[in-house]
Amino acid sequence: MTLAIRPATPTDLPLIAAFIRDLAEYEKLSHEVRFDEAKLAANLFGPRPYAEVVIGEIDGTPQGFALFFHNFSTFEGRPGIYLEDLFVRPEARGSGLGKALLAHLAQLCVTRDCARLEWSVLDWNEPSIGFYKSLGARMMDKWTVMRVDGDALKTLAGA
């Protein structure tokens, strides 16, 4: 079995869209998937990409992906990488691909002089939490994620 991680290209857009939908289904959030593929393509591969994607393959077959972008730590004075989505198809779990994807991002962090790699995980997702802890990740128990979206975002923006 050969594991490989490669940068996504625009021709991977249908695959990326499928991975996003599969992840949403796993997280019981399919009802929240609203992206338009053309906008997704522009935001990933256009003149100003807002995020990057790597594809994880087993024996040349795409079986997972990681979508990430840079954030910034003012305390460190350096960028970080925020992992928005990590997904490995159920039949490929246990193969080491998830660890390989995270290791690839860790290597990018080191290469790009980033201070940290971080992400969120749903609190009910015990298998993933255990997996992440086994890799040395720690819970940020004193932090709570906040979000403004939809009508509240428009109201805040004065729109």
Q: How far apart are CA 142 and CA 159, in angstroms?
A: 33
Residues forming beta bridges with residue 70, ordered by sequence position: 81
| 8 Å CB contact between 87 and 22 | yes
The pLDDT value recorded for residue 84 is: 97
The pLDDT value recorded for residue 22 is: 97
pTM score, two decimals? Answer: 0.94
Residue 82 known to be catalytic: no
- Cβ-in-10-Å burial (0-12, 13-18, 19+) of 86 comes to buried
Q: What is the edge-to-edge ordering of all strands in the sheet holding 3-7?
A: 3-7, 52-58, 61-73, 78-88, 117-119
The pLDDT value recorded for residue 3 is: 97
Which amino acid type is present at position 93? R
Q: How far apart are CA 54 and CA 8, in angstroms?
A: 5
Closest CA to 50 of 84, 99, 96, 78: 84
Here the tokens at position 66 are: 């990681």
Low-confidence ranges of the chain (pLDDT < 70): none
Domains observed in the chain: 3-156 (3.40.630.30)
The pLDDT value recorded for residue 159 is: 78
